[in-house]
Chains A and B, each alone.
Chain A
């Protein structure tokens, strides 16, 4: 299992730092760094911002191992995938705890737009009425991928539309 200690060790080595060098930069003893890396103790919370800065990663990545992904990115033309191979994912998380995931290939979305089918005609959901799928399709055609729509409704539901 990848622990915070393993991550400190991994990123320290990537930065070509020795344990005592890192310790000196943080103002702690080399033994303390050794204990962190062997999962015998954890760095003090007040050290996390400086530690993450030295290691060149975010605090989230250091603590949880999660990389911060860009919300949305626009790919240059040479890096773009064929639009027919992309998937539009609709994620709805209700406040009550229900989760709905819909996966639609972009080619299917294209046909739906061409034939003039709107989302409420498919699922009867009025909340999705104002989401313009033609606009989303245009964005994707122009190289946008990632989290294209994120809506938090007043009653606590979250709707996310992303393309990957």
Chain B
């Protein structure tokens, strides 16, 4: 996983993370528990481990298919800051 951040001043920060470190059974369990715990505060509907795990498996499969050049999210703010998440 690559997180590419470009600030409005043109500075670029590139962060590389092993995707499997962030997206695995353990982190899914922790993430789901955290989301469900904070459901009261943010009003996000509940998620279950069995819902998210197939999604994570598919993300890993798609990473292989897309040739690791899959830009999942690309956000450009009005003031010129840019954040890209490339899987």
Which residues on A are within 8 Å of B, measured CB to CB?
A: 84, 94, 96-105, 107-108, 111-112, 114-118, 120-121, 124
Which residues on B are within 8 Å of A, measured CB to CB?
A: 42-47, 50-52, 54-55, 57-59, 61-62, 65-66, 70-78
Q: Chain A contacts of B57 at CB under 8 A?
A: 111
**A111, B54: Cβ atoms under 8 Å?**
yes
CA distance A112 to B45 in the complex (A): 15
**B74, A101: Cβ atoms under 8 Å?**
yes
Give the number of A-B contacts (CB < 8 Å): 66
Q: Write the nearest CB–CB distance from A121 to chain B, whole angstroms.
A: 5
Residue contacts A-B, CB under 8 angstroms, 8 given:
A96-B78, A100-B74, A100-B75, A101-B73, A102-B74, A103-B73, A121-B46, A124-B43
CA distance A147 to B54 in the complex (A): 28
Q: Chain A contacts of B52 at CB under 8 A?
A: 115, 117
CA distance A86 to B66 in the complex (A): 11
**B75, A107: Cβ atoms under 8 Å?**
no
**A117, B47: Cβ atoms under 8 Å?**
yes
CA distance A94 to B77 in the complex (A): 9
**A115, B78: Cβ atoms under 8 Å?**
no
Q: Write the nearest CB–CB distance from A44 to chain B, whole angstroms.
A: 39
